[in-house]
Amino acid sequence: MKKKDLKTGHVVEYKNGERRFVLKDSLDGLDYLVHPEGSYACLNAFSEDLIYTNKTNGVEVPMLVIMKVYEPLTITDILKNPIRCGKLIWERKPEEVEMQIKINGKLEYSTSVSEEALLKIRGILLSQD
């Protein structure tokens, strides 16, 4: 699924399990991911692949990754509880990426790991700077 495929009323779920309601073409012309308690993220800041990244120490670090998209079952679902899940219409498949460990420029270890594992490793390494 791409960002352009999202519609008002869809519910997205981030990697951390939090959910947001999609609001497209709002009065200010922007698209938002809204939580009923008032917090929001600007959908325009997400890539077409539904990932919001932040540059940390010159490295693009995914901060918000949309993992699932739900379609509400009825308009009542939206009005009563905007982040209640309806029908799952898309789910991000875990990706395998190649990870290499080099020591003093020499390749010591190479393996395939899940994208999630690589993000955790990256976070640990960045926190040690």
Return averaged pLDDT per consecutive 10 residues of the chain, 129 residues in all. Answer: 94 90 91 89 91 72 86 74 80 77 82 74 70
What is d(CA 77, CA 44) in angstroms, rounded to the nearest whole number? 25
Joined together, the tokens standing for residue 7 give 């519609």
User: How confident is the model at residue 97, as a pLDDT?
Assistant: 67
User: How confident is the model at residue 57, as a pLDDT?
Assistant: 66
User: How confident is the model at residue 33, as a pLDDT?
Assistant: 94
User: How confident is the model at residue 58, as a pLDDT?
Assistant: 61
Please provide the DSSP assignment of the chain as one string: --GGG--TT-EEEETTS-EEEEE-S-TTS--EEE-TTS-EEEGGGS-TTSEEEEEETTEEEEEEEEEEEEE-SSHHHHHH-TT---EEEEEPPPPEEEEEEEETTEEEEEEEEEHHHHHHHHHHHHHT-
User: How confident is the model at residue 56, as a pLDDT?
Assistant: 65
Q: Which residues make Cβ contacts (< 8 Å) with residue 3, sequence separation at least 6?
A: 43, 46, 47, 48, 49, 50
